[in-house]
Structure 1
Amino acid sequence: MNTIGNLFTLTSFGESHGPAIGGVVDGMPAGIPVDMEFIQQELDRRRPGQSSIVTPRKESDRVEFLSGVFEGKTTGTPIGFVVWNENQHSSDYDNLRDLYRPSHADYTYQCKYGCRDHRGGGRSSARETIARCVAGALAKLVLRYLGIEVWAYTSQVGELSLPGDYRSYDRAEIEKNAVRCPDAEMARQMEAYIARVKSEGDTVGGVITGVISGVPAGLGEPVFNKLHAALGSAMLGINAVKGFEYGMGFAGARCRGSQVNDVFESHDGRITTRTNYSGGIQGGISNGEDIYFRVAFKPVATLLRDIETVDTQGNPVVLKAKGRHDPCVLPRAVPVVEAMAAMVILDYYLLAQSHKL
């Protein structure tokens, strides 16, 4: 599918080396002021060429709205938009026409469609996430009115990992460094590590932590389409993502129930929990506490060194990769994680309203 969502939906289109990346957002509430500066800021956070530890591809990534916006506000009709590609080096991929790159989607796309765009991965390229950032920015504009905030940060690169949870760090630090880590000293270590890995022609993965605060209780479906399942599906749909956990996650498998039960309390007539091992979701439905989760990203599959593979006839060959690639996707993936979370939360907020008379 190229569409995500139930009531708030995004359908994206385009390829890395095609004319443009774009999308259509449907279900956007009417009358929302479209803050173009904010939307562009969200795209700039994902944009290539930001620092020495990301791909040097130069793109302005300016979004052009084609419909659904009039006199600076949303009209409630479908919002069509496009971001024109400007700086492709398609010739860098000429040697890939008859090869399958290890751990890429080349072979699987060929099996599924019988053909493929070998230039930069075509539709499987992470450049498609531009459309998600535009739609996510629009969703964030609505969530502002609801008092809901979505934010994320790099919490691990390789074996370098922040020891505390999201409450231990200052959000204001995230955008002050190239890796988007809220701890200045750890950020310096992560940046140096990524630079070293890059100099060796290698890549490294890591983890992004996401937080959603201000979510009202009652969002989510009771059996299928539980809120955490929707968030997991959205995150696992991001390029290079290999894992998702929320709340206590896999660490809870080592605990006893008596250690991780979230005891209910009442404060000024509001029901809260003393702890939040559940990650803000119980029974697939939000309980009003912070929703927090972790997303694991694999190392980028393109290595700037000789790699063994086969050609389309199955003959063994050695691939000499070229092109411009990220040694670590984490810094540019932070806004993508936020965008996907924002779309899911707005969609489920709208679904919750539809259940009420």
Structure 2
Amino acid sequence: MAGSTFGTLFRMTTWGETHGKGVGVVVDGCPAGLSLCEEDVQKYLNRRKPGQSKYTTKRKEDDQVEILSGVFEGKTTGTPISMAVFNKDQHSKDYSEIKDVYRPGHADYTFDKKYGFRDYRGGGRSSGRETTARVAAGAVAAKVLEELGIEIFAYTKAVGPVQIDSSRFSKEERDKNALYMPDVQAAAQAEAYLQEKMRELDSSGGIVECVITGMPVGIGEPVFDKLSANLGKAILSIGAVKGFEIGDGFAAAQSVGSENNDDFYNHNGKIEKKTNHAGGILGGMSDGSVIIFRAAFKPTPSIAQPQQTVNREGEDTEIVIHGRHDPIIVPRAVVVVETMAAVTVLDLLLQNMGSSLEGVKNFYRSDKK
């Protein structure tokens, strides 16, 4: 299977299945000398782990990370960092009844047709549990970005029809409610909506918004490895994401140039923009302003309502999915979006170090050794 590696200079390779012995990641390209311990990674994994509230699966996993290599005496060594999270509460029997049936909204059919084989225990590599490994890698990237004064902050912008109100936005509120919404009033409304969907044995989609601050100008390449393109690939690689936009996004299609363009001006000797319709990216490169993007997540496909499908023989049948499933993916996906953005940004920052001859000369000048 190809496609389990992401990144160029800061690179991660994930492994494992949702109902196997565990999941993990190998991170290559992390600079030596970074202070790193398991708690630095664990605080991110704790935001993603199951069983946190009535809006997440009842699967009980501590998601306790173990750093197996690449760290010595509390510092990264510059060698590959290998991390593992071992599964403890997998109920593979929950899926035995559907081993020959394709679940609507899942990768069962496409996986089976591609490989001629399917790990039916919760989806195997196609399961959302794979993102545990991504979060671990992204936690390392976020620690490096912190050293550079760059912050990535993601949150739930919408749950179904309920959206946050920017006038009530509170960064501190995000971690105080189960839905990771930075608006206490919207969070209460969203919880009521989810309760209704759960009573109907249904699920909900939503939107995650992410803000990146502290980025220097010029990060990203002007052709294929645009910052916008790489962010798009990173976020769209998250299984349940069906839409991605930066800045005004799709609303820009209904705008005109005189409104959508961001005027520049001199602010105390520094070039800045009066507005940020572009979302902090121009020509595929960061423009020095806040980067803002959104990801649209589909409703959880595993619902307890009867659904029509077929089996491997192509025979029509009905399916009712049992087991433990999130009624909404979005709250646990917030940290996944955040950490995938961290990996993407750090990788392009490292690539940017060799973008000009002067930059290379400055790095290797003898008086800096």
**Structure 1 range deviating more: 325-334 or 153-162:** 153-162
SS of equivalent residue, structure 1 residue 66:
strand
SS of equivalent residue, structure 1 residue 138:
helix
SS of equivalent residue, structure 1 residue 131:
helix
Q: Could you tell me how far apart the structure 1 residues matched to 2:185 and 2:138 are?
A: 30
* 1:262 equivalenced with 2:262 (yes/no): yes
Mapped contact 2:26–2:80 kept (Cα < 8 A) = yes
Question: Which of 30, 34, 37 is equivalent to 2:36?
Answer: 34
Q: Which runs of 4+ in 1 moved over 4 A?
A: none
Corresponding residue for 2:114? 112
| Letter of the 2:121 counterpart | R
Q: Could you tell me how far apart the structure 1 residues matched to 2:253 and 2:303 are?
A: 35
Corresponding residue for 2:329? 329
**Structure 1 range deviating more: 145-154 or 261-270:** 261-270
SS of equivalent residue, structure 1 residue 211:
strand
Corresponding residue for 1:339? 339
Question: Which of 1, 4, 10 is equivalent to 1:2?
Answer: 4
Mapped contact 2:56–2:327 kept (Cα < 8 A) = yes
* Matches for 1:91-240 after TM superposition, within 5 Å: 91-164=93-166, 169-240=169-240
Q: Could you tell me how far apart the structure 1 residues matched to 2:112 and 2:36 are?
A: 40
Mapped contact 2:38–2:66 kept (Cα < 8 A) = no
Corresponding residue for 2:241? 241
* 1:292 equivalenced with 2:292 (yes/no): yes
User: What CA deviation, in whole Å up to 9, does each residue of 1:158-214 have, x standing for no partner?
Assistant: 1111243xx862211100100000000100111121122112111110100000000
Q: Could you tell me how far apart the structure 2 residues matched to 1:136 and 1:297 are?
A: 20
SS of equivalent residue, structure 1 residue 354:
coil
User: What CA deviation, in whole Å up to 9, does each residue of 1:117-142 have, x standing for no partner?
Assistant: 00001110000000011011000100
SS of equivalent residue, structure 2 residue 69:
coil
Q: Could you tell me how far apart the structure 1 residues matched to 2:65 and 2:39 are?
A: 11
Q: Could you tell me how far apart the structure 2 residues matched to 1:200 and 1:50 are?
A: 22
* Matches for 1:37-48 after TM superposition, within 5 Å: 37-48=39-50
TM-score, length basis structure 2:
0.95
Q: Could you tell me how far apart the structure 2 residues matched to 1:147 and 1:94 are?
A: 49
| Letter of the 1:188 counterpart | A
Corresponding residue for 2:65? 63
Unaligned stretches of 5+ residues in structure 2: 361-369
Q: Could you tell me how far apart the structure 1 residues matched to 2:35 and 2:270 are?
A: 32
Mapped contact 2:300–2:329 kept (Cα < 8 A) = yes
Q: Could you tell me how far apart the structure 2 residues matched to 1:316 and 1:9 are?
A: 43
Shift of 1:267: 2.0
Q: CA RMSD in A?
A: 1.0
Q: Could you tell me how far apart the structure 1 residues matched to 2:85 and 2:116 are?
A: 28
| Letter of the 1:218 counterpart | G
Q: Could you tell me how far apart the structure 1 residues matched to 2:70 and 2:168 are?
A: 41
**Structure 1 range deviating more: 337-346 or 36-45:** 36-45
